[in-house]
Structure 1
Amino acid sequence: MYDYVVIGAGIVGSFIARELSKYDLKALVVEKENDVANVQTLANSAILHSGHNPKPNTLKSRLCLLGNKMYNDVEKELNIQILRSGAFVVAHGESEEKQLAELVETTKQNNVTEYELLSYEEAVKTEPNLAKSVTQVLSLPTTGVIYPWEVAFACMENAIVNGVEFRKNAEVTNLIKDSGTFKITINDKDIVESKYVINATGVNTDDIAEMLEKHVDFKITPRKGEYFVLDKRVKGFVNHVLYPLPTNKGKGVLLTPQVHGNILVGPDSKFVDDKYRTDNTNSGLGYVKENASLLADNIPFNQIIRSFAGIRATSTKEDFIIEESKEIKGLYHTAGIDSPGLTAAPAIAEYLVNEIMMVQDKYDTSKDFDPIRKKLPEFHSLPEEKQRELIKQDSRYANIICKCEKITEKEIVDAINGPLGSNSIKGIKKRTRAGAGLCQGGYCEEKVYKLIARETNSSPLDIVYDSQKSNLFVSETKVKK
């Protein structure tokens, strides 16, 4: 019997798991995908928003502002990377300048204290490629950029080290409450029991709710956004996150410098019927290119190394839904966590655990909780003296597997065997960036799958790219009969 079962291991579920691990209780996280952070957290703009845009006096505005500040402690405790880029919201001409003035009022109402209006001449001093059509800029210096996969992994690793259990490839196929206990069916066969259940399933929150509730008062209406990734050789082309003025579709097409030097261009925003539709389209990517040109001149689209699309779990309600079920006591929902959900994630977890579920009134604080996640060395960024020292300790540091990102054999082996290890090509890419560079795995993918096979004592036929059904090989072709 568990005290809490968290369904879903995106960034919100991972922060919730870590928050629960601070208490003397038994918790389990179940995730239907083959990895943590594999749906909404996988494909987004990676921005820590300042809090300038949400509607005032909402959970979005409150938790975005708090979450932005909480990442200062998260950075120290979990050893994550934050690019403190700041942001510019741009306006073109008198009409848009009036809209920008209205946005300043929203910024004030949301208690964002650090902001400044700049002329084009002032802004272009720090952003030389700013579009010449821009006439005024709202500067938001508390905006930052993170590596979302790293943050989710760090949270879940820390939760696991502090006693939380985790199961991947564990889809909840039925959920009932019987005699005060939740019975959760996993993959149509295994049943786990829990006193409380937390629904943190992103695009599937309404589906999970419908397993128990007769009248679910929200619906997930997924929105798809498409992006380009520019190679890290363009690092410095933009120094800030560049926003257009927000609309009812969201924050619009952005230019976003990334932690590792790439630049994201996008997204567009389209409502789709399929919660798992992440294909790229000519129309979507064309829209992104056209609208990005309103932010900066001469965007180096000749440096595109990848395009992708992500789904956002927009709901039929304007605000985040973080509450106990109105019908089923002990069932808690975190639904409609679209932008600025990434920014708000640590605050969402704290709000749910401490203000909604009141866990501190039910369980003692764990005396053994360790908030620190020890990060393994990022070899290529170390001074040469330290690199030589590590090679003496372990010669696998001398074997570069991914030439684009300079990732070593030792780093990949550590990612395979860590507290939240992975046995998939994409899982290793997300943990180490092996395959994330210019050649997109063309050079190193073969080497990575061989390392996975060796470390897990598996046949190459069993190695997958991502999901359990994404095997790289069907059969051997050169074998003796």
Structure 2
Amino acid sequence: MNTDQIYDVVIIGGGVVGCATLFHLTNNGYNCLMLEKNKHLVAEASAGNSGMLHTGFDAPLGSLELHCIQQCQVHIFDILNKLDLPYNRIGATMVAWDSAQMSKLPIITQHSNIANVSEINQLSLSQLYQREPNLSRNATGAIHIPGETIVDPWLTPIVMAEHARIRGAQICINTMVNNVEFNDSNRTWNVFTNKGNVGSKLVINCSGLYGDIIEKIAGYSSFKIKPRKGQYLIFNKTAKDVISSSILPVPTEITKGVIVFKSVYDNVIIGPTAEETEDRHASPTINSGITTRLWNHGKKTVPSLSKHDIVHMYTGVRPATENKDYQIIARPDRNWLTVGGIRSTGLSGCIGIADHVLAQVKYKFGIEPSKSSWETIKKVNFNFTKNGTVMFPHGIEHLITHPLTFTGVTRKTISQSNL
């Protein structure tokens, strides 16, 4: 962190949204600094998600969330290909198990069509079991969403961040923001941290589960984080053939429900739950009652899962708020941009969110980049190590903080207490 210069942008928070924003703004010529309070990047909400890249078929119509997810769909696959990151367009199958759920399928299909999410099709029971022969025979109907994709939820933002670092961005870990102060005369921020003070033309709050706390430091109170905990079970890779797509339940007004899906590394996962909590941390303790409920859901949905072993369990906490939509709030009078309340679709919308942020920086704040933009995205070489880290050629090493990545690329399981 260079305390002698004024950055174009300081980004607070090194989760998937912060990393994608750093990546996109740096590629467009902005001199950026990212501040992360933890010892490792992608260590909070982004270290406990599902790794699913959604199409937005069920996002609220007219919402900023839907817009950002759809914009992400336009750009993310080109980025994943150029960065040589793993992904699989496995598709998803939403299964109804009774007549009440069955009656909702045409409504969900119509919603998807209005949202311009193409290729969503209602399946007959024969078509369903042809696609998913291991499903319980108690289904009453289904719809297929072929565009649903799985990615590595940890490696994707980490490589984006390192791509930005190679192109001049600075990343500071173990750096806590204690206070901020706006200078009206030169319209810049002074950001006070435990490692010194830094100046910036614009501050972007991407601090996820702590977004409301950073807002208060800046003198705002736009929303309150209401953490929502989700727990998961991870199966041995021997279960990889029990499903061919992500098996979604029919959502309720309260939750999207528990999913049976595969990681990009072929581990089958059951989850998440949706539990309101006051704790912003992912507890290392897994509730045995919830574990049993998830396990029973998996066996009820795909009976042959009972033949396979659970190799790990983990918990994620989502930064929900009292609002259903994203809380992306621009304050041009003080050059402050809030990117909060991203809930469970931060990965699905990350590049779309970053593109929306770029438009705000350019046109609402009127801040021009101090460098030339980069025309190309280039592969960043890296190697997984035996110690559960990833090493980059420029001497940077990252601890794998997401259990899906760690379990997928190593033969042993990760202890939740090590996260």
Q: TM-score, normalised by structure 2?
A: 0.90
Partner of 2:200: 194
Shift, 1:360, TM fit = 7.8
2:255 corresponds to which letter in structure 1? G
Partner of 1:479: none
Shift, 1:19, TM fit = 1.1
Q: Does 1:338 align with 2:343?
A: yes
1:48 corresponds to which letter in structure 2? L
Partner of 1:395: none
Task: Supply the distance in 2 between the matched residues of 1:211 and 1:90 (Cα, whole angstroms).
Answer: 45
**1:192-231 deviation per Cα after TM superposition (whole angstroms, max 9, x unaligned):** 11111000011111000001224x1211101000000111
SS in 2 for 1:319: coil
86-95 or 223-232: which moved more? Answer: 86-95
Shift, 1:68, TM fit = 2.3
Partner of 2:294: 288
2:209 corresponds to which letter in structure 1? V
How many equivalent residue pairs? 409
Contact kept, 8 Å, 1:120 with 1:137, in 2: the verdict is yes
Task: Supply the distance in 1 between the matched residues of 2:42 and 2:368 (Cα, whole angstroms).
Answer: 29
Instruction: Name the CA shift for 1:368/1:360 in 2 (closer, same or farther; >3 Å).
Output: farther
Contact kept, 8 Å, 2:8 with 2:369, in 1: the verdict is no
Q: Does 1:211 align with 2:217?
A: yes
Contact kept, 8 Å, 1:149 with 1:430, in 2: the verdict is no
Selected match of 1:220 from 216, 225, 229: 225
The within-5 A match list for 1:44-63 is: 44-63=49-68
Shift, 1:169, TM fit = 0.8
Partner of 1:318: 324
SS in 2 for 1:250: coil
Partner of 2:190: 183
Instruction: Name the CA shift for 1:251/1:294 in 2 (closer, same or farther; >3 Å).
Output: farther
Instruction: Name the CA shift for 1:274/1:176 in 2 (closer, same or farther; >3 Å).
Output: same
1:342 corresponds to which letter in structure 2? L
Shift, 1:318, TM fit = 1.0
2:77 corresponds to which letter in structure 1? N
Instruction: Name the CA shift for 1:367/1:27 in 2 (closer, same or farther; >3 Å).
Output: closer
Task: Supply the distance in 2 between the matched residues of 1:178 and 1:14 (Cα, whole angstroms).
Answer: 27
Shift, 1:287, TM fit = 2.6
Partner of 1:397: none
Selected match of 2:143 from 138, 153, 171: 138
Identity %: 23
Shift, 1:420, TM fit = 7.2
Partner of 2:334: 329
Task: Supply the distance in 1 between the matched residues of 2:414 and 2:324 (Cα, whole angstroms).
Answer: 40
Shift, 1:286, TM fit = 2.5
SS in 1 for 2:397: coil
1:422 corresponds to which letter in structure 2? E
Selected match of 2:396 from 413, 421, 427: 421
SS in 1 for 2:130: coil
Task: Supply the distance in 2 between the matched residues of 1:170 and 1:114 (Cα, whole angstroms).
Answer: 45
The within-5 A match list for 1:357-376 is: 357-358=362-363, 362-363=368-369, 366-368=372-374, 370-376=376-382
Partner of 1:392: none
* Structure of higher RCO (CA pairs closer than 8 Å, 6+ residues apart): 2
Instruction: Name the CA shift for 1:271/1:419 in 2 (closer, same or farther; >3 Å).
Output: farther
Task: Supply the distance in 1 between the matched residues of 2:295 and 2:404 (Cα, whole angstroms).
Answer: 29
Q: Tell which structure's C-alpha radius of gyration is larger.
A: 1
Contact kept, 8 Å, 1:243 with 1:295, in 2: the verdict is no
SS in 2 for 1:14: helix
1:182 corresponds to which letter in structure 2? W
Partner of 1:162: 167
Task: Supply the distance in 1 between the matched residues of 2:31 and 2:74 (Cα, whole angstroms).
Answer: 29
SS in 1 for 2:75: helix
Contact kept, 8 Å, 2:53 with 2:149, in 1: the verdict is yes
Partner of 2:412: 439
**1:409-468 deviation per Cα after TM superposition (whole angstroms, max 9, x unaligned):** 6xx7993454472365x46x88984895443269xxxxxxxxxxxxxxxxxxxxx955xx
**1:70-118 deviation per Cα after TM superposition (whole angstroms, max 9, x unaligned):** 2211112221111110000011232211111111121112111111100
Q: Does 1:241 align with 2:246?
A: yes
Instruction: Name the CA shift for 1:23/1:277 in 2 (closer, same or farther; >3 Å).
Output: closer
Root-mean-square deviation (Å)? 2.6
Partner of 2:235: 230
Task: Supply the distance in 2 between the matched residues of 1:334 and 1:301 (Cα, whole angstroms).
Answer: 44
Contact kept, 8 Å, 1:67 with 1:343, in 2: the verdict is yes
SS in 1 for 2:168: coil
Shift, 1:302, TM fit = 4.2
Selected match of 2:267 from 248, 262, 265: 262
**1:5-46 deviation per Cα after TM superposition (whole angstroms, max 9, x unaligned):** 000111111110011112333210010111111111111111
Task: Supply the distance in 2 between the matched residues of 1:39 and 1:420 (Cα, whole angstroms).
Answer: 24
357-366 or 272-281: which moved more? Answer: 357-366
SS in 1 for 2:47: coil
121-130 or 363-372: which moved more? Answer: 363-372
Task: Supply the distance in 2 between the matched residues of 1:88 and 1:432 (Cα, whole angstroms).
Answer: 24
Shift, 1:341, TM fit = 2.2
Task: Supply the distance in 2 between the matched residues of 1:241 and 1:60 (Cα, whole angstroms).
Answer: 21
SS in 1 for 2:43: coil
1:108 corresponds to which letter in structure 2? N
Shift, 1:365, TM fit = 6.3
SS in 2 for 1:275: coil
1:185 corresponds to which letter in structure 2? F
Contact kept, 8 Å, 1:67 with 1:345, in 2: the verdict is yes
Contact kept, 8 Å, 2:55 with 2:148, in 1: the verdict is yes
Task: Supply the distance in 1 between the matched residues of 2:130 and 2:408 (Cα, whole angstroms).
Answer: 35
Contact kept, 8 Å, 1:242 with 1:254, in 2: the verdict is yes
Instruction: Name the CA shift for 1:430/1:169 in 2 (closer, same or farther; >3 Å).
Output: farther
Task: Supply the distance in 2 between the matched residues of 1:367 and 1:185 (Cα, whole angstroms).
Answer: 29
Structure 2, unaligned runs of 5 or more = 1-5
2:412 corresponds to which letter in structure 1? C
Contact kept, 8 Å, 2:7 with 2:33, in 1: the verdict is yes
Contact kept, 8 Å, 1:131 with 1:295, in 2: the verdict is yes
